[in-house]
Structure 1
Amino acid sequence: MLIWLNGPFGGGKTQTAHELHRRLPGSVVCDPEEVGFGLHRMLPPGLRGDFQDLPAWRQGVYEVLDRVLRAHEGPVIAPMTVVDPGYFDETVGRLRESGHDVRHFALLAERATVLRRLTERGWGRGLKRESFAVAKLDHCLEALAGPRFAEHLHTDRLTLPQVADRVALSTGLHLTPNTYGPRRHRLRQIRIGLRHIRFL
């Protein structure tokens, strides 16, 4: 099974993916951003744009996830924002057409909630560090609310473990009990956030 976690930038995809991975034995996180960052590193700065616009990114994501899904026995978790319908069809849709069990979730929240989360992960620079995410926010929220991007999961009033619980319930997967308290969860979130700071 592939669990694709979609949502706006700052919507909690990566944190949810790692919470699922922590409590889902045999699972693996395969981040499609890594394909994009690899393509960016090959390009001179002046040629870099949105890596999703590169056909090589869509093809690469499909090929990697297809390979993992055929060879790995446990659940595969992919946290990635995709709002372009055509790109969605070339990745999520194509994997489904290939016979894979793909469960897609759009993690949604009110605009103010996402802005607060982006501010918190700005590491002292607030929204200045998240200018790309802020610029894309309204378009992401509007596009992902459409029926093509179901299943929708509204996260405003849910904790991270609760979001993971909802995903597991919908997929029929059984998570191990959450034994972390709030402080330990927060420390883990900080560590994950630090690991995912990108320097290109």
Structure 2
Amino acid sequence: MLLWINGPFGGGKTQSAYELRRRLPGSVVCDPEHVGFGLHRMMPPSLRGDFQDLSAWRQGVYEVLDLALTKLGGTVIAPMTVVEPVYFREIVGRLRERGHDVRHFALLADRETVLRRLRERGLGHAVRCVAGKEAPLRRESFAVSKLDLCLERLRDQEFAEHLWTDRLTIPQVADSIATSAGLTLTSNTDSALRGRLRRVWTGAKHIRFD
């Protein structure tokens, strides 16, 4: 089974994916962004646009996920924002046509909720202390510029199942996804502090510096 976790940038996709992996034995995270990062690193900076516009990215993600789903016995988890219907069909639609069990979830939230999460993700708390409240949002300019489009597009029925997360914790999001997909997670035994530290570490590991 493939769990594709969609949503706006800063919507909690990566945190939810790694919470699922932590509590779902035999599962793996296959992050489609890494294909895009590799393509960008091959290109001169002046030619780097949105890597999703490259057919090589869409084909590469399809092939890697198809291979993982075919060869692995466990659940594959892919956290990735995709809001272009044509691109969505090229990857998710083709995987379904190939016969794979693909469960898609769009994590939605109010605009202000997503903006708050963008301020806090990665090293956001530390940056706010040093550079001021709005510093993380300047660093997240791409995410902010795409926010309204993402929230609008992802409400469409094509991007169901929709999961509103404003009042849900990351473990609760993972629980909701697993329940909908018919999967059983191990119990969440983290304390509030341990869970917070875990999410800070996950966010720090996924900070991009190029």
TM-score range relative to shorter protein = over 0.9
Q: TM-score, normalised by structure 2?
A: 0.94
In structure 2, C-alpha distance between the alignment counterparts of 1:189 and 1:51, rounded to whole Å: 27
Tell me how far 1:199 sits from its aligned partner: 1.8
Counting only pairs closer than 5 Å after superposition, residues 136-151 of structure 1 correspond to structure 2 as: 136-151=146-161
* TM superposition shift of 1:126: 2.1
For 1:169, the equivalent position in structure 2 comes to 179
Alignment-derived partner of residue 113 in structure 1: 113
Equivalent position of 1:196 in the other structure: 206
- How many Å separate the matches in 1 of 2:29 and 2:191? 23
TM-score of the pair, normalised by structure 1: 0.99
Task: Return the alpha-carbon distance in structure 2 between the equivalents of residues 103 and 14 of structure 1.
Answer: 16
Letter in 2 for 1:14: T
Structure 1 alignment gaps of length 5 or more: none
Identity of aligned residues (%): 71
Aligned length: 200
Structure 2 residues without counterparts, runs of 5 or longer: 128-134
Residue in 1 that maps onto 2:88? 88
Counterparts of residues 98-109 of structure 1 (less than 5 Å): 98-109=98-109
DSSP 3-state at the match of 2:140: helix
Q: Deviations over 1:102-147 (max 9, x none)?
A: 0000000000000000011262122011000000000000000000
C-alpha displacement of 1:175: 0.1
Question: In structure 2, the residue corresponding to 1:190 is in which secondary structure?
Answer: helix
**RMSD of the TM alignment (CA)?**
0.7
**Match for residue 141 of structure 2?**
131
- Cα distance in structure 2, aligned partners of 1:166 and 1:36: 29
